[in-house]
Chain A
Amino acid sequence: MNLSPELADRPARILIVDDERNNRQLLELMLAAEGFQPLSAASGEEALALVAQQPPDVILLDVMMPGIDGYRVAVKIKGNLATKNIPIIMVTALNNRDAKMQALSAGAEDFLTKPIDRAELCMRVRNLARLKAYGDFYEQQTGALTEQATLQSALEESRKEQLRFKDDFLSHVSHELRSPLTAIKQFTRILLGGLAGELNEEQREYQQIVLKNIQQLQSMIDDLLEVTRLETGKLTVELGSVTLSDAVTDAINTLAETARAKGITLSRDLPTDLPSAHADRTRLLQVLIILLDNAVKFTPRGGTVRVRVQLLQENHHFLLFEVCDTGCGVNPDVAERLFERLYQVSEHTQASRKGLGLGLYICKQLVTRQGGHIWMTSEPQNGSTFSFTLPVFSLDRLIAPLIKDGRWPADSVALLTVHFGFRGAPPPGALAAQRMQHARTFVERCLLPDLDLLLPVSRSNAQGEDFFVAVFADDHGTSVLANRIRGQFERSLSLKQADLTLTVFYRMLTPFAREVGSSIDRAVASMAAQLERAIQFQTLPWTSSP
């Protein structure tokens, strides 16, 4: 491509259209002498054919011709997308305003009056030729840019396609790997359980080794899928209020058996007045478990692994989590690289087996997505500390965008409490959690996403779980919503089969705008405080099924 139109390496081609041969010859001579390359046409028809075949750079067009006259030739050339950029100079015998106006309105760029002055002709032709060259140049550039953009979006599309393929491929492979693994694990457990006859001590030991390796393979498949989900944006983080003492206890309990087997002490250090985190409980647990698992793996027998959570000194809106071990430590040079995808500690370690090298990468992605940072500090031979931060939970952060975007008119707000209880004794553990997740999905579906806000605070006790919804509505609107939730519950076979009962009630809160005047921030703070108080002091008149 030319860098500038001045560098055009050929003479400009000028088409002369005139029915009189003498006129044509005269113009040809004048233009050739100036270094242009003249072409000639004796009629409008011939001119149009030539323009279509080899487009000139400038056209000198006589008006009065038999057949198609100059004006109509100009209209045709300017009406064609392929030729409309070719400048036209009308050559008229009449030097009056009407003739000039007619020439311009037919689309000509310029006009000359007969008899033609040589200097004027050459100057006008040269100017228009240069303008045309600039025009072509920019058009080329724009074309190139458009082409580049098209190419880029095609590349992007193909990258996405590749990612989708990889995702599909990995999901498929993982699924297919899990099926035979299921049978292997089943029969290992059958042998270990003595269901096919008692095992002797040696046989039992070997089967335990098989089982341990099955677990490793299983967690590698899980990691693989997790990373695929992270990279294809399928992993969603649902932020809510997370009580940290519970989460840390759950994480420690998960690793308790492994640590005990290795003679490692797991300890926790949490102040009693620690605020809740604004995080995804499952994801936070996942991060803690990966870090604890690593720490236990790299700590020699008899060592200690400690989880500590406290408010971040420098910024009280954040919590600082630390997992410290008394293991072999890591060379500080690789501290950053540890969080890279597929990074594996290459030096000799006491860990018996490497994983896929995805755990810390997953941690970093998950912490980042929850609004925190993760890093590690270590001294070789003195153990390592993995630290990360997460925001402190506050209702302010949650409702501020709603009020600021004007989605909540500052009139009436109610706090709706939806309580799900168990009809009989609550089922322990995973089943209860699954049912409550089901209940939560049910509540979400009953709400209007742009007006009702399901608060990420839920409160559970032995009798069930409360979900809180902040509702913009007056007393009537809120009771309509409460009735709708009850009605939907009546129709939900699966919730009733899960033996859940439902209670819904609400409390109107003081209109906050009037109370605090015009400041949005103060309105947010006041609203958040009211909601928090209402949730905190909510005591339900527990009733059985509605």
Chain B
Amino acid sequence: MNNGKLLIVEDDADVRLGYKILFKANYYDTCFAEDAVSAISVARKERPHLILLDLGLPAGDGFVVLERLETNTDLGKIPVIVVSARDHHANEARALQAGARAYVQKPWDDDALLDLIHQVLDGGGNF
């Protein structure tokens, strides 16, 4: 059983490990990028079904990644969920406007995040 492949763009190694354990237990494949530049190259190489994107990243923040993904014909189709410690009041609207499907505030609730990923992948219908 496999629920799909997730690209996690996150600069904190502990949080990446936490994601990996959680998603493995929930039958997702995972691949990772630690900064804004490698986010695009990993996305191109791995073709994930969904991207979890942190906003505070080295080498350009998450909005830069969103913009590059959106303007790319192929990668633009991959749904993005922003997961950030930045306050949602200031960033949620901007992230949605930039093309993100949803905004999740860190620290998140695991069940809610898994539900959300499931919904987005279900509704996306590209695979």
Q: How far is the CB of B72 from chain A (nearest CB, A)?
A: 11
Question: Chain A interface: which of B1-9, B38-46, B85-93?
Answer: B85-93
A427 touches B123 (CB 8 A): yes
Q: A182-B107, A187-B18, A499-B123 are in contact. Are A493 and B89 (CB under 8 A)?
A: no
Partner of A186, one of B18, B90, B97: B18
Chain A residues positioned under 8 Å from B14 (CB to CB): 183, 186-187
Q: Among B22, B79, B124, which residue has the most Cβ atoms of chain A within 10 A?
A: B22
B99 touches A427 (CB 8 A): no
B102 touches A431 (CB 8 A): yes
| 30 contacting pairs across A/B (C-beta < 8 A) | A174-B87, A175-B85, A178-B85, A178-B107, A179-B106, A182-B107, A183-B14, A183-B18, A186-B22, A186-B110, A187-B14, A187-B18, A189-B110, A193-B25, A193-B110, A195-B25, A196-B21, A430-B116, A434-B92, A437-B93, A437-B96, A438-B97, A441-B93, A494-B70, A494-B98, A494-B99, A497-B77, A497-B99, A497-B101, A499-B123
Residues 63-100 of B, flagged 1 when their CB comes within 8 A of A and 0 if not, give 00000001000001101000001110110110011110
Q: Residues on B close to A: CB < 8 A?
A: 12, 14-15, 18-19, 21-22, 25, 56, 70, 76-77, 79, 85-87, 89-90, 92-93, 96-99, 101-103, 106-108, 110, 112, 115-116, 119-120, 123-125
Q: Residues on A close to B: CB < 8 A?
A: 171, 174-176, 178-179, 181-187, 189-190, 193, 195-196, 214, 218, 225, 229, 234-235, 424, 427-431, 434, 437-438, 441, 493-494, 497-499
By beta carbon, the residue of chain A nearest B106 is A182
Chain B residues positioned under 8 Å from A493 (CB to CB): 70, 76, 99
B97 touches A175 (CB 8 A): no
Q: How far is the CB of B5 from chain A (nearest CB, A)?
A: 19
Chain B residues positioned under 8 Å from A175 (CB to CB): 56, 85-87
| Complex CA distance for A193 and B71, rounded to whole angstroms | 39
By beta carbon, the residue of chain A nearest B13 is A183
Chain A residues positioned under 8 Å from B93 (CB to CB): 437, 441
Q: How far is the CB of A433 from chain B (nearest CB, A)?
A: 10
| Complex CA distance for A120 and B32, rounded to whole angstroms | 100
By beta carbon, the residue of chain A nearest B25 is A195
Q: How far is the CB of B123 from chain A (nearest CB, A)?
A: 6
| Complex CA distance for A225 and B103, rounded to whole angstroms | 18
Q: How far is the CB of A400 from chain B (nearest CB, A)?
A: 29
Q: How far is the CB of B39 from chain A (nearest CB, A)?
A: 18
A431 touches B97 (CB 8 A): no
B110 touches A497 (CB 8 A): no
B85 touches A179 (CB 8 A): yes
Chain B residues positioned under 8 Å from A234 (CB to CB): 89-90
Q: Among A174, A179, A195, A229, which residue has the most Cβ atoms of chain B within 10 A?
A: A179
Chain B residues positioned under 8 Å from A431 (CB to CB): 101-102, 116, 119-120
Interface pairs A-B: 3 shortest CB-CB: A186-B18, A178-B85, A183-B14
| Complex CA distance for A229 and B90, rounded to whole angstroms | 10
B96 touches A494 (CB 8 A): yes
A182-B106, A189-B110 known; 15 new pairs, CB 8 Å cut-off, are A175-B86, A183-B15, A186-B18, A189-B22, A196-B21, A234-B89, A430-B112, A434-B101, A434-B102, A438-B97, A493-B76, A493-B99, A494-B98, A497-B77, A499-B123
Q: How far is the CB of A147 from chain B (nearest CB, A)?
A: 39
Chain B residues positioned under 8 Å from A193 (CB to CB): 25, 110
B96 touches A185 (CB 8 A): no
Q: How far is the CB of B96 from chain A (nearest CB, A)?
A: 5
A218 touches B107 (CB 8 A): yes
Chain A residues positioned under 8 Å from B98 (CB to CB): 494
A182 touches B85 (CB 8 A): yes
| Complex CA distance for A497 and B79, rounded to whole angstroms | 8
Q: How far is the CB of B68 from chain A (nearest CB, A)?
A: 14
Chain A residues positioned under 8 Å from B102 (CB to CB): 430-431, 434
| Complex CA distance for A234 and B88, rounded to whole angstroms | 13
A186 touches B107 (CB 8 A): yes
A190 touches B86 (CB 8 A): no
Q: How far is the CB of B79 from chain A (nearest CB, A)?
A: 7
A434 touches B96 (CB 8 A): yes
Q: A195-B21, A234-B89, A494-B96 are in contact. Are A186 and B56 (CB under 8 A)?
A: no
Chain B residues positioned under 8 Å from A218 (CB to CB): 107
Q: How far is the CB of B52 from chain A (nearest CB, A)?
A: 12
By beta carbon, the residue of chain B nearest A228 is B87
Q: A195-B25, A431-B102 are in contact. Are A185 and B107 (CB under 8 A)?
A: yes
By beta carbon, the residue of chain A nearest B96 is A438
Q: A187-B18, A190-B21, A430-B112 are in contact. Are A179 and B12 (CB under 8 A)?
A: yes
| Complex CA distance for A248 and B19, rounded to whole angstroms | 35
Q: How far is the CB of A434 from chain B (nearest CB, A)?
A: 5
Q: How far is the CB of B54 from chain A (nearest CB, A)?
A: 10
| Complex CA distance for A430 and B87, rounded to whole angstroms | 17
Q: How far is the CB of A304 from chain B (nearest CB, A)?
A: 28
Chain A residues positioned under 8 Å from B90 (CB to CB): 171, 234
Q: A195-B25, A438-B96 are in contact. Are A186 and B89 (CB under 8 A)?
A: no
Chain A residues positioned under 8 Å from B125 (CB to CB): 424, 499
| Complex CA distance for A499 and B89, rounded to whole angstroms | 24
Chain A residues positioned under 8 Å from B12 (CB to CB): 179, 182-183
Chain A residues positioned under 8 Å from B99 (CB to CB): 493-494, 497
A428 touches B87 (CB 8 A): no
Q: How far is the CB of A237 from chain B (nearest CB, A)?
A: 12
Partner of B22, one of A171, A174, A195, A437: A195
Q: Among A183, A186, A434, A498, which residue has the most Cβ atoms of chain B within 10 A?
A: A186
